[in-house]
Amino acid sequence: MFYKLLRPILFLFDPEKIHDLLLTCLAIWHFFSINFRQKKCHVTGQVFGLHFPNPVGLAAGFDKNAKALLAWQDLGFGFIEIGTVTPKPQAGNPKPRIFRFPKEKALLNGMGFPNDGIEKVVERLKRAKPKLKIPVGLNIGKNKDTPNEKAVFDYTKCIEVANPYCDFFVLNVSSPNTEALRELQNEKYLPHLLEECVALSQRPVLLKLSPDLLEEELKTLLRISMEKKVSGFVVSNTTANYELLPNSKVGSGGISGKPLFQTSTAQLEFVKQHSNLPIIGCGGILSKEDAEQKRKAGADLIEIYTGLIYEGPGLVRRLVS
């Protein structure tokens, strides 16, 4: 109720500035919080070899730089995915680069992997790790100035640095916000990339999928992924299908939120039918009913991002219960 009253005020300001302010407030709130801790709930159990206290996770992109890890745990999340992180720090695309569409309960994100770089992010993760009781995944990508021919070295660099400190890796080759990144999903690059990352990693390696793949492209990607022994999938990333916001002025970037729900859920069901690997369902979850549809489609775990913006932190507890 409180968040519904506060949201119209928050939405008067630039989305990225509010986002950064929220992360700062969360970190401060956790520092002074001593009584509010994770609610006891049913145990999800083992997924790709890890224990999850509940199936609701924070999607990558919300806490790119691992600034509020313990606060997310306190809010009731069963796991966290930080990033996307690249080997070198980078500023990302020019601002403004996040846009709200309140009527559609959607966001347009054209961030372009702004982050503090793997070394600094891992330092924060290292400090928080002793107090974390939930799995933390690290979403990794390539720097903007790294050509695709050398992209594998960016991904393996991140894995090498973070291996001791995170619980699983998610390879982001599907963001629409870095030029030519999605080419890494094709047969020219993907087999070698997966082979090198899986061989180096001491943790499960997941692949995050684009919802814009054609059926035959998706089948090929799934075949390669299973041949190269990935541990699971995140379904899905944001979409570049701007027809999902037909009555809005849309810039470049990826669409998330309610308009993505049907597309990402259909892809989730397809992946479940054509692979035997665990799946994290992500895309357009704004209610318990949405979460249940993801689970029925085949999700072992779920993640939220845009739902948190429109429904507030209480959404976590509603989904867990």
- Could you give the residue ranges of the DSSP H alpha helices within the chain? 2-10, 15-32, 69-74, 118-128, 151-162, 190-200, 215-227, 261-274, 288-297, 306-311, 314-320
**312 Ramachandran zone, left/alpha/beta (phi>0; psi -120 to 50):** left
Token code pair at residue 64: 């790119």
What's the rounded Cα separation, in Å, for the pair 90 and 145? Answer: 10
What's the rounded Cα separation, in Å, for the pair 302 and 202? Answer: 23
Closest CA to 22 of 82, 66, 58, 63: 63
**Phi, psi (rounded to 5 degrees) for 59:** -75, 155
Order of all β-strands in the sheet with 254-257 = 98-101, 106-109, 254-257
**Phi, psi (rounded to 5 degrees) for 191:** -55, -45
Tell me which residues are annotated as active site.
Answer: 175
What's the rounded Cα separation, in Å, for the pair 174 and 145? Answer: 17
Token code pair at residue 298: 């085949």
* β-pair type (98-101, 279-282): unpaired
H/E stretch holding 98 = strand 98-101
